[in-house]
Structure formats: C-alpha cells, structure tokens
Structure 1
Amino acid sequence: MTSILVIGAGPAGLMAAEAAAGAGASVTVHDHMPSPARKLLIAGRGGLNLTHSEPLEAFLDHYGPARARLEPFIRAFPPDALVAWCEALGQPTFVGSSGRVFPRAMKASPLLRAWLARLASLGVALKTRHRWIGFAPDGAPRFATPEGEAILRADAVVLALGGASWPRLGSDGAWTALLPGCAVAPLRPANMGFAIAWSDHLRARFAGTPLKRIALAFEGRTVRGEAVLTEQGIEGGAVYALSAPLREAIARDGAALLRLDLRPDVALADLSRRLAARARGVSLSNHLRRAAGLPPVAVALVQEALHAGASPADPAALVKALPLRLTAPFPIARAISSAGGLAWAEVDETLMLRSHPGVFACGEMLDWEAPTGGYLLQACFATGRAAGINAKTYSDKSSRS
C-alpha cells in the first residue's frame, strides 16, 4: 500500500485525504491546530455556502484569470458532484433564493462529524499539533510536534496549507517562507471590507447597522445585495463581490470611489419626481424618509455626503449614486479569503510542484481568488480531490519503477 502524507486539515486537505484513501492509499493528515477544519466550522456559522447552482460556464467565470487553470479540476468535480458528496454524508442540501447551495442543517459541524467518520473508516489517520517546518535534505517533510522535531516520509505529499485570512483559525501564510525558489504571489485580503473616514456622528450612531436592498457600482459593474456599516468603514456581501477591483484600484490610485444606490428598485426619474416637491418647514431628513422611503441609516449617509461637499441641488441623484471614498482594504486577518499564493507556473497539470517531484499543492494556497457564493469552497474541494488522486497515481508509478 502506498503512503500519502497530507499537510493541512481544511476542506482541500481532507478532500485530498479522502480521494487518496478511497483509491487505496494509506493516508495521514497533519495539521498544526489542535483540531481540524476550524475555518470550515466558522464559515458554517453563516450557513455554510457549499457551492452555487448556476450553469457551469457562468460558474467558472467567477474565477477570473485563474479560470483556465481551475476549470479541469472543477469540471471533474462540479457543483452537482459536491452536492451528491454532501448528501452521501447524510447532509441533505437546498438551493437558496440566490442560487447558493447550503446543507439543510445550515451549519458545518454535522457535515464535519460525518466526514471525519468516513475518513476514519477509510483508515485515514489525523495528527494534530504537527506544524510543517520545511523539507529535509532528502525531500521528506519536517514537523515540529509536541514531542519535538520529526522527519516523516511518504510516497507522496499533498500541501493544503491555505491562504492567510483568519490566521487564528490556522491559515497563517507561514508556508510561503518554506518553499525557497518557488514563486509565490503576495497574499492579500479578498472578500473583505474597506476603510471609510466616517464622521464621529455617523460612526457613533450607525456602526453595525445593515444596509438592506442596496446596489453598489464600480467601474461599470453593479451588484445588488446588502452591506454593513462598521466603525472603520463598510463590509458585507455586496462589497465582497467588488472587492478585487476595488483593492486593485486603491493599490493603483490610493483610493477608490464606490457608488451606493440606496433605492435600486426606484428609477431616478421617479425618485426625482417624489423629491421635487418639498413642503415648507419639512427638514431634508424627514423629506427623504417620507418621500424616498429611506431608513435612518440611509438618511444619515446622504447627510454625510452633503456635509462632505456633495451638491444638494439634486437629492435624488445623490440617493441613487452616493459616493463612498474607500481608502484601504481591511486587513487580511479579518478577510473572508485571500488572493495570491503559489504561482501556477510552479505546478504542472496534476498540481505537482515542478521543483519537488511527489509533492502536490491544492486549495487556497494556490494563486486564485473568487467571490463568496460557493465558489471558494468548490475550488478547494475540487483541487483537493485532484491532488489526492494524482498523488496516489504518482505513488503507484513510483512504486512500480
């Protein structure tokens, strides 16, 4: 029986372990945290968005420049296959109104328990508190363990080390220093919020307040959804959908101007008509609330823009395209995911490192990013599965040669 060593017990690593063990390999998973899949469990608090039900061609477009590299793995393990896998673990799924796919339990813990039981039935061993610290001269992985440093050998190794978001849950990006000679794109925040210099009044009154049924526009793209004001700025699903171009614009220009439509369901002409007749003695705040149907947080944002110098001549235009000046992305430690990672040129079509025969990489440690909506987990599962299968194939060929 060939042996596979998986480093990283997140979704990609556990899927690699399942694929390799299911193909007949002896598999051990090592992780430096005290328990596996901590980030998956936290993601499950929001419902655990596994994947998306949209047509596959549209689905793949969400991976942007990395689509061509990720496509073979996702086509081999598409959303329908991920749903079937989940349901085979006794976790039925449903499709939400937005097309996103969730387990009916709306959390990750039942799925993880069933998954770990399946892995155990396949003979997969899990070693926690084992931090990978690089390779020995002969290429075997080295670990810092509770008992001291250890060198562990296997027929193939799968690296599933994650990015650098939510580092307290395990993905701290420390691996980037352990692959000397390999090109690694800098790890940057993805699916994150952005800093805005709110006034003290707005920050004190409305930090933590949601913005519901809004639209955000940037560089010709408009996204409907929700967001949340924070003490430092703004975050939420609609913001995350635009986070990549916003991040790049700030890096290029020092700031980015995001446009907020507070009433996307009302046409500008209709809103202008409603706001044209303002009765004597009625404050602008009350007029916006009554005529435009704006909640207090939206009224406060309009007032904030006016105090910052926006023209009061056409309040309807301001409601439909409120300028928000973003000055910086939130730190990677509070981002949902990360961009950057091991350059695609460093791995072949089987996800094996060109510089390290028998070592495969998968999941978020590769150089790709995607918006929330199920695309993140889908790519992690799909590349993890591919790495596990290909590691087993490599081990079999090596043992025969």
Structure 2
Amino acid sequence: MTGTDQKTAIIVGAGPAGLMAADVLSASGVAVTVIDQMPSVGRKFLMAGKSGLNLTKIEDPAQFDAAFGDAPPALRDALAQFGPAQVTAWAEGLGQPVFTGSTGRVFPVAMKASPLLRAWLNRLTQQGVTLLTRWTWTGWDGNALRFDTPDGPVTRSADITILACGGASWRRLGSDGQWADHFSDVAPFKPANCGFRVDWSDHMAPYFGQPIKATTLHAGKATSRGEWVITQNGIEGGGIYAVSAAVRDGAPLFVDLMPDHELSALQQKLDAARQKSSLGKILKSTLRLPPVKIALFNEMSRRAEPATHTAALLKALPMMHSGPAPLDQAISTAGGLRFSQLDGLMLPSKPGTFAAGEMLDWEAPTGGYLITACLATGRAAAVAALHQIAA
C-alpha cells in the first residue's frame, strides 16, 4: 500500500502488546503511529528485564494453557497462534539469542531487556513507525481519539486503532489504569502476582530481606515450590506470586516447611527427640531448619490453634496476613476490559478499534506467561485489524 491507498493505524500504549501490534501492521505496509503517555517507551518491559526478562516458558502445551485458568476463547486463540515457540523465534529474529533454563523458562542470553528493546525499536523505525511520547489519551470525539500533548489538545483518527494501555499497577512506569474512565463496563482491577501484608513482631526484624527456600506453599488448589522472601511489610516473591490469586480471592495460605518429609516420619522424629531436647534445639539440631525458618515457625505457630501438633504445623503452618499489598505494587493486575464486551478483540461500538495486552480482563502467573500473552494479543489484534481492512 502506497500513497493515498496506504492505510493508517494509531496504537495507544508502547508496551509489548502495542509494539507487537505496530510490528505486524507496519510490516504489512500500514502507516503506524504509536502513542504513549510516558517520556519513553517500554518502561515496564525494561523493569521486567532487571530480573532477567523471562520471555516465555517451554513446557507441555496443556500445562502452559492451564496457567491462564478460565481464559476466554479470544485469548486462547491468540496464544495458539503465538505461543512459546513463536516468542522464542521472534526474539532470535531480532538478533537476541535465548536460552532455556532448567525449569523451562526462556531468557535472552543478555539477561536484560534493553538490547532486545533497542533492536525492536530499530526495526520499527525501519518499517516507518512513528513514536509520539508524552501524549495522554483522554477519550473519544466520535470515533476519533483525543489526546493531551505537550503542545495542547489534539484529535487524531486512523483506519485502525489498537488500544494497549496496560493494567493498573506500577503507575510510575505508565500503567495507571486511568483509561478505564473512558469505558462504561470494566471489570474492577485486582492485584495479581502480588505480595501480602504481614504485621510482624519485632523478633522478625533480623530476617527482613531473607529468602525462604525449600518450602511448598498451599492455597486452595494452588501450590508452589518457588522461593519467596520475608520483607519489612510482609511476604513476596515468585513462590508467593504463584498462589497469590487464590489467596487474594480468600483461600487460606499454608506453608510446608519440610516438604520432603512425610508427616508420620516427622512425628516419629519429634517424639524421639523430645525426650532429650527442647523444641528450639530440635528445630535447629535435629530437623536442621535454618534460622529464618525457625523464626517463621515461632512467629506463625503462636497465632495458630493452641492444640495443633508441632509436626502438623511444620507441614502446614498457617500464614496469617492482612491482605494483598497495594494494587500499585503488584506485578500485574486482573480486571479490565471484559471479553464479553468485545467481538474477539474488537470493540463493537468503535469500528476499526481493537484492544490488547494487560488492559484486557485476564491474569496469569509470572514465569513467562504474562509477556507471552501480551505479545500474543498484540499480534492477534493487528491480524484481526488487517483482515477487517482487507474485507
């Protein structure tokens, strides 16, 4: 498409979903403008890269699918077309080799996001994509989009509009959820992949910042063997995030401090040792628990039912908490545009307008699932838009 025949697109949001949509559209000859309210693009993407940038996860397809819970068909379809294999090929196509860790998680060899983002932006520039920053979307004027810009209010329209405005956490990186004010029916935002607040006693202060390893966390049907951390304000980390949705929605949280020991064998060991030692010495010398686990056991067992046996507590220590950490501190959010209000990924009330990424109402655990779904829905929205303008 050239000259007056060239189609145009506006993409609101320069995270993974928006940039992927821009990539697909511009590669097909569409004149694309990407608009973001922040001074630079991909800020949350870059933040994710500080921990290595887990792009996706190579595992059994059914297991990968299950990580998204009761996901709607539009999300399932997007992931079927652009899953772990395609994400891996996309990164390598940008000149960024990847490796797969022992748990199936896929990372760039560079172990950060900046080289990948630079290569991606360079390709978008070569494909003619225009980037406008410090532009804030303020709603619609008919089917046109209104923006506040450094030079004052502006109204823009295009053949294709893709909204990829993000969720409602990490406000300082641009995901503030303010776009929800422009819609009449949005599922309320909830923290996802979040920590939980705990009112620790003074005895726990020496352990703030220390990781808890070799445990199993249980919350309803959710379980996790991942590592987690005690912080000044509570508990967080990958192990906690994996069960956070269940805990957030009301399931009690328990931690098995000795997941490789059966309850009956542990009880026998405790019974034999009690004839000679105090509980403190048993935990340290007989069971060889590290100090941080002993401190956690003492902290939480005093809040448990008095009649609960020590062995049972070691295998299912109730983790008392005061609810999720604030929404803005969550890794991601649930809630957003309801799929029931969309036709696939298209807004029926706004011809040529599609939505993608975390602004849609879905959630998934960390571990590569989040970025994969953002990339997949960005691509799917762009493909659907191309089909529409070709019809």
Give the TM interval when normalised to the shorter protein: over 0.9
- Aligned to 2:213, the other structure's residue is in SS state strand
Kept in 2: contact 1:53–1:79 (CA 8 A): yes
Question: Unpaired runs of 5+ in structure 1?
Answer: 250-255
Question: CA 1:53–1:309 in structure 2 vs 1: closer, same or farther (change >3 Å)?
Answer: closer
1:359 to 343, 353, 363: 353
After the TM superposition, which segments of 4 or more aligned residues of structure 1 sit over 6 Å from their partners?
none
Alignment match, 2:179: 175
1:61, distance to aligned residue in structure 2 (A): 1.5
Q: What letter matches 1:7 in structure 2?
A: V
Alignment match, 1:197: 199
Alignment match, 2:77: 72
Q: What letter matches 1:65 in structure 2?
A: D
Kept in 1: contact 2:16–2:42 (CA 8 A): yes
Alignment match, 2:161: 157
Alignment match, 2:263: 268
Kept in 2: contact 1:165–1:172 (CA 8 A): yes
Q: Give the structure-2-normalised TM-score.
A: 0.95
Percentage identity across aligned positions? 50
Distance 2:155 2:222 in 1: 51
Is 1:375 the equivalent of 2:369? yes
Distance 1:387 1:257 in 2: 38
Distance 1:289 1:199 in 2: 21
Kept in 1: contact 2:300–2:320 (CA 8 A): no
Kept in 1: contact 2:337–2:359 (CA 8 A): yes
Q: How many residues align?
A: 386
Range with bigger deviation, 232-241 or 304-313: 304-313
Alignment match, 2:279: 284
C-alpha RMSD of the superposition: 1.6
Q: What letter matches 2:10 in structure 1?
A: L
Alignment match, 1:188: 190
1:38 to 34, 43, 57: 43
Alignment match, 1:49: 54
Distance 1:309 1:114 in 2: 53
Question: Unpaired runs of 5+ in structure 2?
Answer: 1-5
Kept in 2: contact 1:133–1:142 (CA 8 A): yes
1:283, distance to aligned residue in structure 2 (A): 3.8
1:109, distance to aligned residue in structure 2 (A): 0.6
Distance 1:324 1:143 in 2: 46
1:231, distance to aligned residue in structure 2 (A): 1.9
What CA deviation, in whole Å up to 9, does each residue of 1:321-376 have, x standing for no partner?
11112331111111000000001122112x11011111110000011000111111
1:24 to 18, 21, 29: 29
Distance 2:237 2:359 in 1: 24
Is 1:127 the equivalent of 2:128? no
- Aligned to 1:369, the other structure's residue is in SS state coil
Alignment match, 2:389: 395
Question: CA 1:241–1:389 in structure 2 vs 1: closer, same or farther (change >3 Å)?
Answer: same
Q: What letter matches 1:215 in structure 2?
A: T
Distance 1:335 1:273 in 2: 42
Q: What letter matches 1:166 in structure 2?
A: W
Distance 1:55 1:222 in 2: 18
Is 1:112 the equivalent of 2:107? no
What CA deviation, in whole Å up to 9, does each residue of 1:129-174 have, x standing for no partner?
111111113x111111111111112111100000001111001000
Distance 1:201 1:28 in 2: 55
Distance 1:25 1:13 in 2: 14
Distance 1:306 1:357 in 2: 58
Distance 2:223 2:203 in 1: 29
Where in structure 2 are the equivalents of 1:312-327 lying within 5 Å? 314-327=309-322
- Aligned to 1:225, the other structure's residue is in SS state coil
Q: What letter matches 1:375 in structure 2?
A: Y
Range with bigger deviation, 386-395 or 235-244: 386-395
Q: What letter matches 1:19 in structure 2?
A: V
Kept in 1: contact 2:37–2:174 (CA 8 A): yes
Q: Give the structure-1-normalised TM-score.
A: 0.92
